[in-house]
Amino acid sequence: MQLIDGKSLSNKVQISISKEVEKLKQQRNIVPGLAVIIVGNDPASHAYVSMKEKACKKVGFYSITHKMPEGITQDEIIEIIKMMNNNPHIHGILVQLPLPKHIDTDTILEVIDPKKDVDGFHAYNIGRMVTNLDSFVSCTPLGVMKMFEEYNIDLEGKDVVVVGASNIVGKPMAMLLLNANATVTITHIYTKDLSKYTKEADIVIVGVGRPNLITADMIKDGAIVIDIGINRLEDGSLVGDVDFENVAPKCSYITPVPGGVGPMTIAMLLSNTLKSAKQFGENI
Ligand code: NAD
């Protein structure tokens, strides 16, 4: 069994981004800029945003965070996004999800300029991704694809089961795999017999948010298991969706939690923001 080390791969990506940022600054006087909008007081969301701020600083990006109160109106959020759309120092805009219930997430995401949509959540980018055109791709699935690339894991013709079908994790993940010529099965909460699918899979990718959902009897020998799930247990520890201890010995490759997909998500956010800054630079 080989562990897929997301932490060190993320560091490697960030070092290469730092070098590119330096070049961009020196040669074209461009500093990649990321704007983050966070609403309310959810501690997990604030922790993610602070990790993103730190990562921006580390690679030499300019970043601003709009911390808005829970009671902010939808129109007020839209105003901030429009301001960021028009701000030439900002190349990426990210709205931290989930938003409070009185805000319509789909409406908010559609206001972001697709050229600054570094989270890849705008329908424009999703449509382009599905048709295999250049686009901003959702950071978590993109991070998983980067792991496959780094570990020379060939996806062509592989039977891959994606567990979880959300717009930001499971669906884009499945599309990227399909574009890489894998045979993809998408499963979700209404799937009748989950293990029927996972048992046959060469690769299982799970992003659900349920500790120990994937157990050793659900995985075939030699399979590759990618755990996107992040769950905080009562004792404060962080676990994924996979019963790591018992599943790992059966796998050829597996990602740990923490230190697997999580750090890759941040690296891909930086990578998408750099890509956007370069694209804006070409149009100056
Ligand atoms: P979500 O709640 O929007 O979607 C969950 C999906 O899981 C749904 O499609 C649902 O049908 C499916 N599901 C729920 N219970 C199931 C079950 N028993 N069997 C099969 N499918 C089931 O969640 P999300 O935003 O997609 O996030 C999923 C998980 O991934 C969470 O743990 C989240 O914290 C984590 N996540 C991690 C990263 C990262 O960087 N590693 C990024 C985003 C999300």
pLDDT in tens, 172-181: 999 999 999 9
What's the mean pLDDT in 85-100? Answer: 97
Cα 81 to averaged position of ligand 1 atoms, centre (Å): 26
Instruction: Specify the fold of 28-115.
Output: Rossmann fold (3.40.50)
In three-state form (DSSP H/G/I as H, E/B as E, the rest C), the secondary structure along the chain is CEECCHHHHHHHHHHHHHHHHHHHHHHHCCCCEEEEEEECCCHHHHHHHHHHHHHHHHHCCEEEEEEECCCCCHHHHHHHHHHHHCCCCCCEEEECCCCCCCCCHHHHHHHCCHHHCCCCCCHHHHHHHHCCCCCCCCHHHHHHHHHHHHCCCCCCCCEEEEECCCCCCHHHHHHHHHHCCCEEEEECCCCCCHHHHHCCCCEEEECCCCCCCECHHHCCCCCEEEECCCEECCCCCEECCECHHHHHHHCCEECCCCCCHHHHHHHHHHHHHHHHHHHHHHCC
Does 139-261 match 28-115 at the fold level?
A: yes
Catalytic residue among 5, 117, 119, 241: 119
- pLDDT tens digits, one per residue of 47-92: 999 999 999 999 999 999 999 999 999 999 999 999 999 999 999 9
pLDDT greater than 80 at residue 219: yes
CATH architecture assignment, domain 139-261: 3-Layer(aba) Sandwich (3.40)
Q: Is 210 in the pocket of ligand 1 (CB under 6 A)?
A: yes
pLDDT greater than 70 at residue 284: no
Domain limits, the chain? 28-115, 139-261
Cα 58 to averaged position of ligand 1 atoms, centre (Å): 29
Query: What was the pLDDT predicted at 282?
Result: 80
Pocket test for ligand 1, best of 119, 166, 241 (most atoms within 8 A of CB): 166
Q: What does the mean pLDDT of the chain come to?
A: 97
Residue 27 annotated as catalytic: no
Query: What was the pLDDT predicted at 152?
Result: 98
What's the mean pLDDT in 249-253? Answer: 98
Of the pLDDT bands very low, low, confident and very high (cuts 50, 70, 90), residue 281 is confident
pLDDT greater than 70 at residue 143: yes
Q: pLDDT > 90: what percent of the chain?
A: 98
Closest atom of ligand 1 to 240 CA is: 32
Of the pLDDT bands very low, low, confident and very high (cuts 50, 70, 90), residue 211 is very high
